[in-house]
Amino acid sequence: MLSISHRGRQMPASPIRKLVPYAEAAKKKGTKVYHLNIGQPDIETPKQILDAVRHFDFKVLEYSHSAGNESYRQKLVTYYKKVGIDINYQQIIVTTGGSEAILFGFMSCLDAGDEVIIPEPFYANYNGFAVAADIVVKPITSYIENGFALPPIEEFEKAITPRTKAIVICNPNNPTGYLYSREEMERLKQIIIKHDLYLFADEAYREFCYEGKHISAMHLTGVDDHIVMMDTISKRYSACGGRIGALVTRNKSVLDTVMKFAQARLSPPSFAQILGEAAVDLPDNYFDTTKAEYMKRRDLMVSRLNAMPGVFCPNPGGAFYAIAQLPIDDADRFCQWLLESFSYQGQTVMLAPATGFYGTKNLGKKEVRLAYVLNVSALDKAMDCLEQALQEYKSVQRELSYVKETN
Amino acid sequence: MLSISHRGRQMPASPIRKLVPYAEAAKKKGTKVYHLNIGQPDIETPKQILDAVRHFDFKVLEYSHSAGNESYRQKLVTYYKKVGIDINYQQIIVTTGGSEAILFGFMSCLDAGDEVIIPEPFYANYNGFAVAADIVVKPITSYIENGFALPPIEEFEKAITPRTKAIVICNPNNPTGYLYSREEMERLKQIIIKHDLYLFADEAYREFCYEGKHISAMHLTGVDDHIVMMDTISKRYSACGGRIGALVTRNKSVLDTVMKFAQARLSPPSFAQILGEAAVDLPDNYFDTTKAEYMKRRDLMVSRLNAMPGVFCPNPGGAFYAIAQLPIDDADRFCQWLLESFSYQGQTVMLAPATGFYGTKNLGKKEVRLAYVLNVSALDKAMDCLEQALQEYKSVQRELSYVKETN
């Protein structure tokens, strides 16, 4: 029979994108929507790197090497050296976005039914790649009360089974913005040594650390074979549409295996490799400017949030996300209501319900993720909307629960 | 234990690329290598579509829609209309190359252990995507003697089991160049109706048909839900490095499912979507010129091949590949010898052993695939090399078999 695969049915629809029709309807009504729901920065892609693409001079748009152009990989060696990661170009496989690096990592190191442990809340698309690779995500919970710090070792050990093959972290974290300390990274190292696990480290937001220094998984010593880093230029240079990432590891068997997956899909996109290569030559202060901008936004947003009655938002140490707890009982319903039924001075705000970032059912129901990807003035207006919305929502919620109780 | 996954070990290394180190060594020795081994055309990418990329005017390289830019998909509707395929833009999901379309199709319609039937020889990377999706390829053999025509229905039916979910064809075919007739397409239609199967149709080479008209799977009537077409701009516009393809189907459940896989990886590459969009506006005679060029090459190569003693090469009806049977007993060894030990006037030729295109062991050992992606004069020289090589190889082969017998 013509049927959809089980995995196709299991595949989660994007929790971030499922509210899109409501946003579109709101816009059709003439409401301005502030998008704090997705990690698409408004920061301009540096002109010099866009120009590098404008000035390409080939006549045939050829396949690149399956692992990416050697010239680009050599440049990346320079880039990684600057952030204290010593590798050679053969330890880098250029991928189609960080997404493909994650998928290739899962596919190469885990078989159907194998398990990865991921501290939750976590980047929702890990679920999608896990379904594609037919592996099992075992979440262990981190809590808003202590700013989403790494769960204690015992929690990892409770989750480990004979099928556990890896731990996945995103550092700094999407969606929490949490930046793992050196001490926490060392703790992870002890676990992966003791239980012989891979550590998959998604370091897409490496440059955006506001409190303390970024400790890469690649900085950990004596665990070379354990570490598989997933990387991307998407956020770093505001170049999301380029679809250029990388899988980096010193583990030769993993590299050889990933390379076979890379060969099957022929090559990563050529144009954006030019952009990525040019990006390594950006002046060293490029990130200072961007970081300062994000920090200003974070400071504004987090202080506005914490000033709202009943709202708690831990100060994120990195990335450009924060999770806030709101005085609501159902974040999905609230986020939909914001788009469907609310506006303030002709404006509203789109947030991501945190439920989509938890693997454990019913967690995150009072929480939302906010991406501070808009400029300070837009963010401020978005916060006005949210403040007003929470005020109005009190009575809506009362009504809703009344309806529920009497039905 | 830190281990490589079973599927990672199963993943085939590219049979086309495994000779690369020998080619590199030959070049280091100063030998010129004619590359007939890969489907990388030398045809220039049309200047107007490269210029479209040069003149992009955005400031932020954003994610596109997960299904591709709507403007591009709308353009593709126009393109498909020109080739007699009537669809709307919501029936198109833009993918990262044709590769991703194949993977998404497999993932969405088949589960682990499910089977696809593919006439062999077939595009070797189908094996890779099958391993990634954990599905089973059941090859049914087509034969060089009758030009690699579609195997008879009985052969399909013999291969069908309760796990069979789909038939995969590539039309015109890579690696054989075979162009399926209307009658063969109708035969396939009967099979997919009778056994309720999907027909995955890879139509990457649609424009390159020299004998007769291309019949798309999308032209078949009354089987809308059965047909999933995989497409790409790579060969059509000599734009392999763009990594832009498409999955096209009128089956709504398949579209909805593929869309979830598409969302997980966020979006296809932005730059090359601009190129793809511009390509639809190329003058209608664009393909005439390209086709005439390929046809000239085919005619030269095939006639040169058939003039060599002991060589048989059926005249391919489409694409830019041909499979030739050579008077050799091990194509892999011969292709390696061409690079390692042979040169003629300082030149040699790189071919793809056909063994990598067969799913059945030990088939294709006397066959090679040749891609006529070089201009006529280079092709002619490549044929000189091959002719000379076959002459010399006779004694090499005698010697090799002598060594074998006496050991």
- Is pLDDT at B405 greater than 80 in this prediction? no
Chain B residues lying within 8 Å of A53, measured CB to CB: 53, 56, 271
Looking at every residue in chain A, the average pLDDT score rounds to 96
| Per-residue confidence (pLDDT) for residue B404, from 0 to 100 | 62
Strands B227-232, B198-202: pairing kind: parallel
Mean pLDDT for the stretch of residues B141-169:
97
Beta strands in A109-253 (DSSP E): 115-120, 136-141, 164-170, 198-202, 227-232, 245-249
Q: Is A361 helix (H, G, I), strand (E, B) or coil?
A: coil
CB contact under 8 A, B240 and A267: yes
CB crowding A342-352: b at 16 or more within 10 Å, else e: bbbeebbbbbb
- Residue with structure tokens 């890469």? A216
Q: Which residues have CB under 8 Å from A237's CB, separation 6+?
A: A45, A46, A49, A275, A276, A279, A282
φ, ψ of residue B140 in degrees (nearest 5): -125, 135
CA B230/CA A336 separation, integer angstroms: 36
Q: Which residues have CB under 8 Å from A24's CB, separation 6+?
A: none
Helix (H) or strand (E) holding A95: strand A92-95
> DSSP secondary-structure letter at A364?
T
Positive or negative CA dihedral for A143, A146, A151, A154?
A: negative
CB contact under 8 A, A134 and B128: no
pLDDT for A29-44, tens place per residue? 999 999 999 888 899 9
Closest residue in chain B to residue A110, using alpha carbons only: B5
Mean pLDDT for the stretch of residues A117-135:
97
Interface test with A, best of B2, B18, B102, B228 (most A CBs within 10 A): B2
- B201 contacts B229 by C-beta, under 8 angstroms: yes
Angle between helices B97-109 and B125-133 (to 10 degrees): 40
- A199 contacts A231 by C-beta, under 8 angstroms: no
Candidates A6, A59, A261; nearest CB to B132:
A261
Tell me which residue of B118, B130, B99 sits closest to B200, measured CA to CA. Answer: B118
User: Can you read off the two tokens belonging to residue B59?
Assistant: 């400031």
Candidates B2, B42, B264; nearest CB to A129:
B264
> DSSP secondary-structure letter at A48?
H
pLDDT band of A310, cuts 50, 70, 90: very high
Interface test with B, best of A11, A61, A93, A123 (most B CBs within 10 A): A61
| Per-residue confidence (pLDDT) for residue A403, from 0 to 100 | 67
CA B364/CA B122 separation, integer angstroms: 11
| Per-residue confidence (pLDDT) for residue A284, from 0 to 100 | 87
Chain A residues lying within 8 Å of B240, measured CB to CB: 61-63, 266-267
Radius of gyration of chain A (CA): 22
- Is pLDDT at A367 greater than 70 in this prediction? yes
Chain A residues lying within 8 Å of B56, measured CB to CB: 50, 53-54
pLDDT for A142-168, tens place per residue? 999 999 999 999 999 999 999 999 999
Chain A residues lying within 8 Å of B48, measured CB to CB: none
CA A109/CA B7 separation, integer angstroms: 9
Tell me which residue of A197, A198, A172 sits closest to A315, measured CA to CA. Answer: A172
CB contact under 8 A, B44 and A56: no
CA A320/CA A298 separation, integer angstroms: 7
- A301 contacts A380 by C-beta, under 8 angstroms: no
The interface pTM score, or ipTM, of the predicted complex is: 0.95
CA B386/CA B324 separation, integer angstroms: 12
Chain B residues lying within 8 Å of A111, measured CB to CB: 5-7
CB contact under 8 A, B43 and A60: yes
Candidates A97, A268, A272; nearest CB to B266:
A97
| Per-residue confidence (pLDDT) for residue B224, from 0 to 100 | 98
Q: Which residues have CB under 8 Å from B37's CB, separation 6+?
A: B16, B19, B335, B350, B351, B352, B369, B371
CA B64/CA A241 separation, integer angstroms: 6
| Omega of the bond leading into B121 within 30 degrees of 0 (cis) | yes
Q: How many Å lie between the alpha carbon of A228 and the closest alpha carbon of chain B?
A: 12
- Is pLDDT at A202 greater than 90 in this prediction? yes
pLDDT for A55-71, tens place per residue? 999 999 999 999 999 99
CB contact under 8 A, B239 and A61: yes
| Per-residue confidence (pLDDT) for residue B1, from 0 to 100 | 65
Q: Is A198 helix (H, G, I), strand (E, B) or coil?
A: strand
Looking at every residue in chain B, the average pLDDT score rounds to 96
Helix spans in A286-356 (H):
286-307, 331-340
- Residue with structure tokens 């708690």? A312
First to last CA, chain A: 42
Q: Which region among B3-17, B40-54, B107-121, B374-388 has the lowest average model confidence (pLDDT)?
A: B3-17
Interface test with B, best of A93, A266, A374 (most B CBs within 10 A): A266
Candidates B5, B61, B111; nearest CB to A7:
B111
CB contact under 8 A, A14 and B263: yes
pLDDT band of B252, cuts 50, 70, 90: very high
pLDDT band of A404, cuts 50, 70, 90: low
pLDDT for A75-115, tens place per residue? 999 999 999 999 999 999 999 999 999 999 999 999 999 99
- Is pLDDT at B172 greater than 70 in this prediction? yes
Mean pLDDT for the stretch of residues A377-389:
98
In three-state form (DSSP H/G/I as H, E/B as E, the rest C), the secondary structure along chain B is: CCCCCHHHHHCCCCCCCCCHHHHHHHHHCCCEEEECCCCCCCCCCCHHHHHHHHCCCCCCCCCCCCCCCHHHHHHHHHHHHHCCCCCCHHHEEEECHHHHHHHHHHHHHCCCCCEEEEEECCCCHHHHHHHHHCCEEEEEECCHHHCCCCCCHHHHHHHCCCCEEEEEEECCCCCCCCCCCHHHHHHHHHHHHHCCCEEEEECCCCCCECCCCCCCHHHCCCCHHHEEEEEECCCCCCCHHHCCEEEEECCHHHHHHHHHHHHHCCCCCHHHHHHHHHHCCCCCCHHHHHHHHHHHHHHHHHHHHHHCCCCECCCCCECCEEEEECCCCCHHHHHHHHHHCCCECCEEEECEEHHHHCCCCCCCCCEEEEECCCCHHHHHHHHHHHHHHHHHHHHHHHHHHHHHHHC
- B121 contacts B357 by C-beta, under 8 angstroms: yes
CA A196/CA A250 separation, integer angstroms: 16
- Is pLDDT at B407 greater than 60 in this prediction? no
Strands B164-170, B115-120: pairing kind: parallel
Q: How many Å lie between the alpha carbon of B372 and the closest alpha carbon of chain A?
A: 16
Mean pLDDT for the stretch of residues B196-213:
96
Residues of chain A above pLDDT 90, percent:
93
Chain A residues lying within 8 Å of B129, measured CB to CB: 264
Name the residue type at position A118.
I
| Per-residue confidence (pLDDT) for residue A39, from 0 to 100 | 86
> Apex CA A338: angle with CA A124 and CA A11, to 5°?
25
Q: Is A98 helix (H, G, I), strand (E, B) or coil?
A: helix
CA B211/CA B312 separation, integer angstroms: 19
Mean pLDDT for the stretch of residues B167-184:
97
Candidates A111, A238, A271; nearest CB to B53:
A271
User: Can you read off the two tokens belonging to residue B405?
Assistant: 């017998």
Q: Is A29 helix (H, G, I), strand (E, B) or coil?
A: coil
pLDDT for A234-285, tens place per residue? 999 999 999 999 999 999 999 999 999 999 999 999 999 999 999 999 998 9
Name the residue type at position A73.
R
- Is pLDDT at A1 greater than 70 in this prediction? no
Angle between helices A125-133 and B252-264 (to 10 degrees): 120
- Is pLDDT at A17 greater than 80 in this prediction? no
Chain B residues lying within 8 Å of A191, measured CB to CB: none
Mean pLDDT for the stretch of residues B264-284:
97
State how far the alpha carbon of B325 is from the alpha carbons of A71, B148, B151, B313, in Å. Answer: 39, 12, 19, 6
CB contact under 8 A, B45 and A64: no
State how far the alpha carbon of B155 is from the alpha carbons of B158, B195, B227, B358, in Å. Answer: 5, 14, 21, 16
Q: Which region among A10-14, A257-261, B100-104 has the lowest average model confidence (pLDDT)?
A: A10-14
Chain B residues lying within 8 Å of A263, measured CB to CB: 13-14, 17, 125, 128
pLDDT band of B403, cuts 50, 70, 90: low
Chain B residues lying within 8 Å of A269, measured CB to CB: 96, 241-243, 269, 271-272
- Is pLDDT at B143 greater than 90 in this prediction? yes
CB contact under 8 A, B260 and A14: yes
CB contact under 8 A, A7 and B225: no
Candidates B60, B242, B264; nearest CB to A128:
B264
Closest residue in chain A to residue B40, using alpha carbons only: A62
Strands B92-95, B32-35: pairing kind: unpaired
Mean pLDDT for the stretch of residues B298-319:
98
Residues of chain A above pLDDT 70, percent:
98
| Per-residue confidence (pLDDT) for residue A252, from 0 to 100 | 98
Chain B residues lying within 8 Å of A40, measured CB to CB: 62-63
| Per-residue confidence (pLDDT) for residue A118, from 0 to 100 | 98
| Per-residue confidence (pLDDT) for residue A40, from 0 to 100 | 87
CB contact under 8 A, B8 and A108: yes
CA A144/CA A125 separation, integer angstroms: 21
pLDDT for B34-87, tens place per residue? 999 988 889 999 999 999 999 999 999 999 999 999 999 999 999 999 999 999
Residues of chain B above pLDDT 70, percent:
98
Q: Which residues have CB under 8 Å from A143's CB, separation 6+?
A: none
CB contact under 8 A, A45 and B61: yes
Q: How many Å lie between the alpha carbon of A8 and the closest alpha carbon of chain B?
A: 5
CA B194/CA B324 separation, integer angstroms: 35
Q: Where on the phi/psi map is residue B249: left (φ > 0), alpha (ψ -120 to 50), or beta?
A: beta
Chain B residues lying within 8 Å of A41, measured CB to CB: 60
Mean pLDDT for the stretch of residues B244-260:
98
